[in-house]
């Protein structure tokens, strides 16, 4: 049995194609699930930028990357908010855990607001 050998260029091209397919699938899911953003002409570019930011922050878990991109779809640029950026960039706790904590706190605040109406 012969082994497939790829050059670095071929390997990089395969990885880039795989990443494009991954992002396309997430984008399709977001457009299906969040009808309000389906006509946003900037959505694709925003999601690509959000994906790059999530990776830069240190996200590695697909589930968290997808959540990050869904949040970007409905709250454009949320990760650029100075408080959010500082929180997610803090050292000591994995960024995915910090993101979960941020989402939990946001949900609790929304519940409190609804209860106090």
Q: Which domain holds residue 21?
A: 8-115
pLDDT digits (tens, 9 = 90+) for 10-61: 888 888 999 999 999 999 999 999 988 988 999 999 999 999 999 999 999 9
* CA atoms 64, 58, 17, 38: torsion sign: positive
Q: Does 93 reside within a domain?
A: yes
* Residue 111 pLDDT exceeds 80: yes
Q: Is residue 75 part of a domain?
A: yes
Whether 1 maps to a domain, the answer reads no
Any domain includes 2: no
Q: Is residue 3 part of a domain?
A: no
Domain count, the chain: 1
Kindly report the pTM of this predicted structure: 0.85
Tell whether 104 is covered by a domain.
Answer: yes
Considering the domain boundaries, does residue 85 fall inside one?
yes
């Amino acid at each position: 049995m012969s082994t497939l050998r790829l050059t670095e260029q071929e390997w990089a091209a395969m990885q880039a194609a795989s990443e494009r397919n991954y992002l396309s699938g997430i984008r399709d899911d977001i457009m299906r699930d969040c009808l309000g953003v389906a006509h946003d002409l900037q959505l694709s570019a925003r999601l690509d930028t959000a994906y790059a930011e999530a990776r830069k922050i240190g996200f590695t878990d697909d589930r968290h990357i997808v959540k990050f991109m869904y949040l970007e779809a409905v709250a454009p640029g949320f990760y650029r908010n100075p408080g959010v950026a500082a929180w997610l960039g803090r050292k000591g706790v994995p960024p995915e855990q910090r993101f979960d904590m941020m989402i939990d706190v946001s949900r609790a605040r929304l519940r409190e607001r609804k209860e106090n109406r």
